[in-house]
């Protein structure tokens, strides 16, 4: 795998993404959080989600059908980002930000504010998180894996 991919998509930004997600939903299972980075660390997908807006009533199947280019490499991104995801979750647990049991939960109250200080890329990602969560909330995790054609 290209070294540049790991510099661009690293544990620091992944940890911020996870904290931002948990700020929105408070708890999530490990299989489901594993799907977040392939969506949110892909600039094309983030830009699409930000253009879509929260008012959109498109479901995941419709988005895949209308924007297949965003999902052609989804499984590859998923597999490539697994080490980053695992490392980020370990960092967050060791720093007492999250608790990992059957579900991943926020360990302490926190709030990510003023995302502009964390860079333009994270600001874009942070704006896309509510849209992504709205799109996938009606799917159970196993259905998401099937819909996204995840091959382990």
- Identify the pLDDT of residue 11: 94
- Identify the pLDDT of residue 28: 96
| DSSP string of the chain, one letter each residue | --HHHHHHS-HHHHHHHHHHHHHHHSEEEHHHHTTHHHHHT-HHHHHHHHHH-TT----HHHHHHH-GGGTTTHHHHHHHHHHHHHHHHHHHHHTTSEEESSEEEESS------GGGG-HHHHHHHHHHHHHHHHHTTS-HHHHHHHTT---
- Rounded to an integer, the average pLDDT of 82-107 is 94
- Identify the pLDDT of residue 113: 65
Question: What are the pLDDT digits (tens) for 118-130?
Answer: 678 999 999 999 9
In percent, the amount of the chain with pLDDT more than 70 equals 87
**Stated pTM of the model:** 0.89
Beta-bridged to residue 98, according to DSSP, are: 106
- Among 10-14, 61-65, 106-110, the range scoring the smallest mean pLDDT is 106-110
């Amino acid at each position: 795998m290209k070294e540049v991919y790991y510099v661009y998509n690293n544990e620091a930004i992944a940890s911020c993404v996870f904290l931002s997600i948990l700020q929105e939903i408070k708890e999530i299972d490990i299989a489901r959080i594993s799907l977040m980075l392939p969506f949110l660390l892909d600039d094309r997908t983030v830009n699409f989600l930000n253009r879509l807006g929260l008012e959109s009533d498109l479901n995941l199947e419709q988005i895949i059908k209308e924007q297949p280019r965003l999902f052609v490499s989804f499984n590859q991104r998923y597999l490539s980002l697994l080490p980053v995801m695992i490392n980020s979750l370990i960092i967050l647990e060791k720093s007492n930000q999250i608790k990992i049991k059957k579900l991943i939960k926020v360990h302490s109250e926190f709030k990510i504010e003023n995302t502009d200080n964390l860079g333009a890329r994270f600001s874009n990602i942070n704006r896309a998180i509510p849209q992504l969560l709205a799109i996938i909330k009606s799917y159970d995790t196993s259905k998401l894996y099937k819909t996204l054609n995840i091959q382990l």
